[in-house]
Amino acid sequence: MIVRLIIVLYHMKLLTPVGIYSLIASIINNGINMMTLLKIAGETYSHKVALVDGDETVSFIQLQSEAEKLAIIFKDKYKLKAGQKVAFLCRNHASMVRAIFATSRLGLDIYLLNTEMSKMQFKQLVHQHNFDFLIYDFELSHFLEDSEYMKDKILSYHKDLLAINQLLHSRIDDKYKLPRCSSGQIILLTSGTTGKSKEVAHKPSLFNFLNPFLAILTKLKLFKCQTAYIATPIFHGYGIAILISCIALGKKVVISQGFHAKEACQLIRKHNVEVVSVVPLMIHKMLKTNAADLTSLTCIASGGAELNPKLVEEVFSKLGGVLYNLYGTSEAGLNMIATPQDLRYATNTIGKKIEGVQLMVMDQNNNPVEDDTVGQFCIKNRWSMQNKRKYWIETGDLGFRDKNGYYFLRGRTDDMVVSAGENVYPIEIEQVLIQHSQVEVVAVIGIDDEQFGQRLQAFVQPLNTQLTEEALLEWLRPRVARFQMPKAIVFVASMPYTPLGKLDKKQLRFH
């Protein structure tokens, strides 16, 4: 642990007497929260660019001072205090980032809400969590219509109405010092855009997150880069993890309010971006739009959804060995990283465990299974959710470890199909079908069958309209076991995706 801490402090430029003093002083004065990291970054990197969005460019010292000022205003004007709940209904922009640091400094529990939810789902969240304060984008004002929310709120940005950018022009007492605070948490809501949400709480702490931070730093070679582009939403755990890591290391972070492949390619070229955080669908779209704009990239950090082997090979072919596959969950955080070398070993691997992760592959009776046997991933680490009572976290993900220590996913526990007594994993058939030269996207689900109990059904988005079901089944037959053969293949013009870029198989069931 001491060695890993020394490595992190070295890359944060704190392994000097002045740096150590700055760290200790910041913890003493601020407590353990995200502002502590920003305070150190402000002092260390000063006028270096920290953040770029569509409207402004912000230096580290500016971001620090504005976040501190905002924290004082929040406390004075809205009487916000430790333990209260603040909800963010914001897309990626600088005002959101300022407010996240400011509310963390006050010890508030930060709830990052999915901006793609429905009005009904927002009403359910307000009723369920009873937020004390709301920060939201003007474009998302319709969420508040007919909702129960009646407490204080403020717009993230507006030219005329009261908003965070307007508050920053307020006068404050320069001598006022906020009391030390270490009680706040970051709350992720795991149910996506449907169903009753479940809270997943993580307490910001360099010491708790030392291992995943070091893994991102070293395996992704983040310390070598200067500029990162967060293409994924900050409200997703993956997005905010990359944001905090880059701020701590003094990297320039580029963000945008939504993902559009053409704009993303232009941003990467304009800012000479070296690291980009994405979901696989984003990589696919950018490669189709303009792969030439992506040549500055040295690290494509993919997470949030499964990589398919064809996409891995396409990235290697067009951009070289720059693709990394990250595996984690909202509850357990980051747990595995597959480097380009790992993906050359097996294009469908999620890599090996990072330092500090305990992982067991368990059968349905909670007994460990042998290598190459599929079971549920159960994880234990220091940085998992703070409100989880169970010692081991059951991820709901199925997979196995091979004899060389590499891990592979086989879908979710509720994806597995039992066909004529055989366990069948849809992902295995997906990974074969995607290898067909005329298949662009594929999804496989289980359907009821009178004779076998369950069978598979494949949905294929073809590159060529001349491809037929008969021809594709004939191509597939020698490549999979008999019990893995789909009962039918349905061709579709496009696939449904969730707002985070995952294939939405629930919608396919109603096709």
What residues make up the domain containing 145? 59-204
What CATH number has the domain bearing residue 289? 3.40.50.12780
How many independent structural domains does the chain possess?
3
DSSP string, 386-401: TT--SSSEEEEEEEEE
pLDDT band at 207 (very low <50, low <70, confident <90, very high): low
Quote the tokens at residue 458: 């494949």
Residue 81: CB atoms within 10 A of its CB come to 15
Give 475's pLDDT tier (boundaries 50, 70, 90).
very high
Q: Which of 63-72, 88-97, 149-158, 205-214 has the lowest mean pLDDT?
A: 205-214
pLDDT at 192: 44
What CATH number should be reported for the domain holding residue 476? 3.30.300.30
Q: Does 9 reside within a domain?
A: no
**Predicted pLDDT at 196:** 58
309/430 same-domain check: no
The residue ranking higher by pLDDT, 94 or 5, is 94
Identity of residue 384: S
402 in any annotated domain: yes
Q: Which of 354, 353, 283, 350 is nearest to 319 (CA)?
A: 283
**Is 97 inside a domain boundary?**
yes
Percent of the chain residues topping a pLDDT of 90: 63
Consecutive H or E run containing 140: none
Task: Give the mean pLDDT of the chain.
Answer: 89
> What's the pLDDT score for residue 502?
85
Q: Where are the alpha helices (DSSP H) in 346-434?
A: 426-433
- Say if CB 354 and CB 324 are below 8 A apart: no
Secondary structure E strands in 91-197:
109-112, 133-136, 152-155, 186-189
Rounded Cα gap, residues 399 and 363, in angstroms: 11
Res 186 pLDDT > 90:
no
Give the containing element (helix H, strand E) for 501: none
What burial class does residue 54 get, using C-beta atoms within 10 Å of its C-beta: 0-12 exposed, 13-18 middle, 19+ buried? middle
pLDDT at 389: 53
Nearest to 497 by CA among 239, 284, 289: 284
Q: Where are the alpha helices (DSSP H) in 12-118?
A: 17-30, 34-45, 60-78, 94-105
Last residue of a domain, one of 393, 412, 431: 412
Say if 5 falls within a structural domain.
no
Residue pLDDT, tens place only, 343-379: 999 999 999 999 989 999 999 888 999 999 999 999 9
- The answer on 502 and 424 residing in a single domain is yes
Q: Is the pLDDT of residue 428 over 90?
A: yes
pLDDT value of position 217: 87
Residue 188, strand partner residues? 112, 200
Rounded Cα–Cα distance for residues 185 and 98 (Å): 16
Exposed, middle or buried by CB within 10 Å (0-12, 13-18, 19+), for 48?
middle
State which H helix or E strand residue 352 sits in: strand 349-353
Question: Does residue 331 form part of some domain?
Answer: yes
Residue that finishes a domain, picked among 184, 204, 224: 204
Residues 266 and 386 in one domain: yes
Instruction: Using pLDDT thresholds of 50, 70 and 90, give the confidence band for residue 194.
Output: very low
What is d(CA 213, CA 380) in angstroms, rounded to the nearest whole number? 17
282 and 379 share a domain? yes
- Domain check: are 366 and 267 in the same one? yes
Helix axes 309-319, 280-290, angle to 10 degrees: 40
Angstrom distance (rounded) from CA 472 to CA 294 = 33
Quick: pLDDT tens for 70-88.
999 999 999 999 999 999 9
pLDDT at 387 over 50: no
Residues 439 and 338 both lie in one domain: no
Residue 424 has pLDDT above 60, yes or no: yes
| Domain annotation covers residue 26 | no
Same-domain pairing of 274 and 384: yes
Sign of the torsion formed by the C-alpha atoms of 72, 76, 81 and 86: negative
DSSP code of residue 382: T
Same domain, 137 and 251: no
- Whether 36 is covered by a domain: the verdict is no
This prediction has a pTM of 0.89
Query: Apex CA 140: angle with CA 135 and CA 144, to 5°?
Result: 75
Same domain (yes/no): 183, 310: no
Position 35 in a domain: no
- Residue 11 pLDDT exceeds 80: no
Residues 292 and 401 in one domain: yes
Question: Does 171 lie in the same domain as 237?
Answer: no
Residue 388 pLDDT: 52
> Do residues 116 and 141 both lie within one domain?
yes
Task: Check pLDDT > 50 for residue 458.
Answer: yes
The beta strand positions in 191-281, using DSSP E, are 199-202, 227-230, 252-255, 275-278
| Domain C-terminal end among 412, 444, 471 | 412
